[in-house]
Structure 1
């Protein structure tokens, strides 16, 4: 192996992200972190950081020899969001030094603060078995590889996760929420995905990404397929924005645990998608993602849902199952996740002859002690992997590197189709059903809709857009005056994936009868006893 002045040899590439904003080079900063990344065999070093405000830039790593800063062979390009990562092999295990990153932005050089580093020999393991499983972890998990899953809820008050501490506490993989079918939740998800993935991989953890799904409000099989493909497209674009799969990525996962398609006024579920259509939706989503990325996605759910909300499917059985089942201990050799607690079997696509489930990952608790694993939240999901270190590494095989056509578009043309408008009097909300299409005829993947009066003096008291399927919304507007209110029905996508669009829309309302103002009757507030949701769960 060729030696270089800093005794490192480059082996891996940088991440790629979705653009968030542009800024002048004069206001930009670049950060750098350097740390030993746990590995079997050779010592690994990871350089990582971010350009802020977000801008795409060439990154060069320099080392300090005690007299002057000298260039190294290590360069990469940050994503449009500014994040960058380089992983290297340390050819001298006692190597130590000082490094900095230079970002080249519009021909201007922006320097990071220096970062000191020394190879940590304790992060190098003789083989994958000792890397993945420590004696202490083995006692807690019954000899299985341990992992977790995180989302924005593990970042209370915007606090970061200490993934190095997570690794030191025995975790070896973390599955990060990567996308959501609901626009507001998806935007929040993007705040953490990129940084968490970079930091977790630098700390030695293998990372996955999951999509939280919502079912479409329809009975049309073709529409179910269309919606599943649209949600799959969001995940493919999100994965492409990260640069595709790298050597530390697990396959993406589908979080499917709710088939409600219509809520009642009290917030409960008034309507569920038919079992056969939920199954069709899942099959379509999984097949679409697999066809594009070359890896079989993972399906996350729980046995009761798999039985009651879906039909048995040989197609589904071909995909790895990530099963949630709390209250039984993975260290107990007779524990069988997916079995009924008393008598009988859950019957679903992954059921086995002995009434257990054919699972690949088992989420056995939602009550892990956050601080123990470097997580700011009080609780953390705990998981184990079923199989050997070689079985685990097999999930990381096959790299998908996106082509330019696979990247999320920017301001892609759209078409708005008004389905229906229900407007009666001022006492009732106006109900507007609308769908928005991409220029290729499929539903838009991001964005929402809003009504805007032309007269700025007309104030809308309240409006809410409820997603009924990908690219389709039911918009309720309240508080408009009697008579005709001229305005526009607007499709808005703050991610700028699809172009904003609008239709002229006039709403005509009759004056509703004056309703009596109810006099509230005071009621005593019952004292609620605190409920410990972790009382019957594993806590460690």
Structure 2
């Protein structure tokens, strides 16, 4: 397994099993069926140290549970990542501005870097989509002061993004649900940072199936990456 990880990710420091590193769900309004809240204390008590929360989509959608989840996660001691779901058929700069305004920065305790979720082309050819992605990421970094994370999946990146290798400065969050010791890494990224391993996980405190992710260690100590500070030793919150 270690050999596969070395070949796939290019980092010898990766753990030999995914369970050796922090795990966490990513959630949106779908995890609030019927308006039910997520019990973030139960999520933390079950061993998960972080979660990714959908903030915005396109030019006019704001997750109605975003503020609620953000506040409860912070009280429970769970590191927070927030993401924007890209609509490349619309201009990138206003989408970046909407996202940045809603999340009010990503620079406090328990804040991980901002995330761009790009998994649709919006009808753009690869060259135009690559340009769109650069513009969005540059704008979000300027507005938040942090280098964003890119979320995608291998087939989309290889086809819609022409397997571009222009984004290596951004940490990679890759979705790959196949039963394998490491995810497929497109675009010759030197490492993956987060791996979304399933979209049908079960986590105490979250109603129904949810995505589950693991951190690779590629960005170093998770507590520092997530700005956990003195909260790293907290239990169930």
Question: TM (normalized to structure 2)?
Answer: 0.82
The alignment partner of 2:198 has SS state of strand
Aligned-pair CA distance for 1:296: 0.6
The alignment partner of 1:287 has SS state of helix
State the alpha-carbon separation in 2 of the partners of residues 388 and 313 from structure 1.
20
State the alpha-carbon separation in 2 of the partners of residues 337 and 245 from structure 1.
29
Equivalence for 1:198: 71
- Structure 2 unaligned blocks of 5 or more: 1-14, 228-237
Larger radius of gyration: 1
Higher relative contact order (CA 8 A, sep 6+): 2
Equivalence for 2:147: 296
Equivalence for 2:199: 366
Q: Structure 1 residue 247 and structure 2 residue 130: aligned?
A: no
**Contact 2:150-2:170 at 8 Å conserved across structures:** yes
- Distance of aligned partners of 1:259 and 1:388 in 2 relative to their CA distance in 1, 3 Å threshold: closer
The alignment partner of 1:367 has SS state of strand
The alignment partner of 1:316 has SS state of coil
State the alpha-carbon separation in 2 of the partners of residues 283 and 146 from structure 1.
28
Aligned-pair CA distance for 1:313: 4.4
Q: Structure 1 residue 155 and structure 2 residue 32: aligned?
A: yes
- Structure 1 unaligned blocks of 5 or more: 1-137, 218-226, 261-271, 330-334, 340-345, 353-357, 398-540
Runs of 4+ in structure 1 displaced over 6 angstroms?
none
**Contact 2:157-2:164 at 8 Å conserved across structures:** no
State the alpha-carbon separation in 2 of the partners of residues 168 and 202 from structure 1.
13
- Distance of aligned partners of 1:144 and 1:318 in 2 relative to their CA distance in 1, 3 Å threshold: same
- Aligned pairs (5 A) from 1:38-437: 141-181=18-58, 183=60, 186-187=61-62, 189=63, 191-216=64-89, 227-240=91-104, 245-260=107-122, 272-328=123-179, 335-338=181-184, 346=186, 348-350=187-189, 358-369=191-202, 372-376=203-207, 378-387=208-217, 390-396=220-226
**Contact 2:151-2:172 at 8 Å conserved across structures:** yes
State the alpha-carbon separation in 2 of the partners of residues 148 and 251 from structure 1.
16
Question: TM (normalized to structure 1)?
Answer: 0.37
**Contact 1:316-1:349 at 8 Å conserved across structures:** no
State the alpha-carbon separation in 2 of the partners of residues 139 and 202 from structure 1.
32
**Contact 2:59-2:94 at 8 Å conserved across structures:** no
The alignment partner of 1:317 has SS state of coil
Query: What whole-Å deviation, never above 9, does each CA across 1:209-262 have from its counterpart, x for those lacking one?
Result: 100011127xxxxxxxxx11111111121122xx652111111100000113xx
State the alpha-carbon separation in 2 of the partners of residues 368 and 140 from structure 1.
18
- Distance of aligned partners of 1:388 and 1:182 in 2 relative to their CA distance in 1, 3 Å threshold: closer
Structure 1 vs Structure 2 CA RMSD: 2.3
**Contact 2:198-2:211 at 8 Å conserved across structures:** yes
State the alpha-carbon separation in 2 of the partners of residues 292 and 249 from structure 1.
15
Greater share of residues in helix: 2
